[in-house]
Amino acid sequence: MSQCPLEARSCTNDLMRVFPDKVFYFEGGALREEWGQAEISLSDLTLFLKESRMVTEAHAIGGPVESIMSTETSRFEVRVAPVEGDCGLVVVRDVTAASMKHEKDLDVLSDALQTSHDDLRQFVYAASHDLREPLLKITAFGERLRTKGVLNTSYLDVMLSAASRMTNLIDDLLLYSRVGGERGVTPTPMSLSELVLQAQDILSEQVADVGAEIVLSNNLQIVGDPTQLPLLFQNLLSNALKFRRGTPVIRVSAVRVGDRAEVHFVDNGIGFDMRYADRVFQMFERLHSRFEYPGTGIGLALVKRVVERHGGRIFVNSSLGVGTEFVFTLPGGE
């Protein structure tokens, strides 16, 4: 009788510590289940070993060989370890759960990559248009100055205005690109009132000039990036002050929804037709000309980006001549 099982048994304990699910002995072309609980068919494993030629390869190199065996419902890591002659061990580990997690992680990364790609494509298209316009204006009026040979202050005013607009665009684009690009930022708990007061302090001159009233209720705690969250509220407040109708009244409140805070930011401004609701969050999109309401068209795109970088979603509801409400979710604190 062959001594293969006795020889193989000498290394079973070590292999079991590494691959604890199921162990088989093989001698010649035959497999025998020895130990374990993995739900794997002996006939399926025998066919897999035959087709993959793992046993032949293991004996040829004189060491263990690994591969992945997949069935309709499971995935197994298979390791063939020759012992002596045509004998050895086949150790099986069920990696179905780990594979599913890995595939899920890949799906998440793929979705994030697609979102980033879409953002980049929109960014390139919009930036190429909006950055080109002031450059063309500077070039055109510069050519006029050179042709006429006479200093014309109105030409210079137009050129300086275009250059200033380009500077603002570049500053806002850099700010937008940095949102989501930071790594290793520790989420920080901040109260809703703290975030609103920070935005109000930064825009204090504009708030005072128009006599805006800011009403805060339900002061919940929010957890997130201490740089990005203030930008979110600053841009929402700036938007409300810009598109005002009479004296601005801005109401900010929040409610707890599970482990998240649902924030409502409401103004009594000019509002807009809901047919254009999707456009307001797109970079460089404007519902009004820059002569009526100056700006780069990046503010609400940045707001949406910050919300989504915190795993939330943002919605808008607006009525012409009545006002606008932004509703968004952010991670909640204790």
Query: CA torsion angle for 266, 247, 269, 253 (degrees, to 10)?
Result: 0
Q: CA–CA separation, 67 vs 116, rounded Å?
A: 35
Q: At what angle do helices 42-52 and 54-61 cross, to 10 degrees?
A: 60
CATH code for the domain of 114:
1.10.287
Written as one string, the DSSP assignment of 141-205 is HHHHHHHH-S--HHHHHHHHHHHHHHHHHHHHHHHHHHTTT--SPPPEEEEHHHHHHHHHHHTHH
Residues 218, 268: contact at Cβ < 8 Å?
no
Strands 249-257 vs 213-216: parallel, antiparallel or unpaired: parallel
CA distance 315 to 81: 59
Mean pLDDT on 210-214 = 94
Q: Which residue range is the domain that position 65 belongs to? A: 4-94
* 211 and 326 part of one domain: yes
**pLDDT tens for residues 39-68?**
677 777 778 777 878 877 877 887 788 888
Residues 93-141 have pLDDT tens digits of 777 777 677 777 777 777 767 766 666 665 555 555 566 667 777 777 7
Phi and psi at 181, nearest 5°, equal -90, -10
Are residue 26 and residue 59 in the same domain, yes or no?
yes
Mean pLDDT of the chain: 77
**What is the predicted pLDDT for the residue at 241?**
93
> Which pLDDT belongs to residue 313?
93
The CATH number linked to 55 is 3.30.450
Helix/strand/coil percent split, the chain, to 5: 50, 25, 25
pLDDT at 23: 67
In 3D space, the residue among 186, 264, 255, 257 whose CA is nearest the CA of residue 225 turns out to be 186
Q: Residue 267: what pLDDT?
A: 95
Nearest to 252 by CA among 193, 312, 190: 193
Same domain, 282 and 227: yes
The reply to whether 171 and 111 lie within a common domain is yes
Task: For residue 314, tell me if it sits in a domain.
Answer: yes
- Kindly report, residue by residue over 142-156, the tens digit of the pLDDT: 777 767 766 666 767
Report whether 185 contacts 227 (CB < 8 A). yes
**Distance (Å, whole) CA 81 – CA 266:** 68
Q: At what angle do helices 153-178 and 299-309 cross, to 10 degrees?
A: 10
Strand-pair category, 75-84 with 65-70: antiparallel
**Hunting for tokens 């910050």 — which residue is that?**
306
Q: Do both 284 and 222 map to the same domain?
A: yes
Q: Are residues 88 and 171 in the same domain?
A: no
Would you say residue 6 has pLDDT above 70?
no
pTM of full prediction above 0.85: no
Q: Is residue 99 a part of any domain in this protein? A: no
User: In Å, what is the CA distance from 217 to each residue of 210, 253, 254?
Assistant: 22, 5, 7
Asked if residue 14 belongs to a domain, the reply is yes
Rg (CA), the chain: 32
More confident of the two residues 195 and 301: 195
Find the helix or strand (DSSP H, E) in which 115 lies. Answer: helix 96-148
User: Residue 197 falls within a domain, yes or no?
Assistant: yes
Tokens of 220: 């919940």
- E-strand spans in 219-322? 221-224, 249-257, 260-267, 314-319
Q: Confidence band (pLDDT; 50, 70, 90) for 194?
A: very high
Q: Is residue 191 very low, low, confident or very high in pLDDT (cuts 50, 70, 90)?
A: very high
CA distance 272 to 19: 63
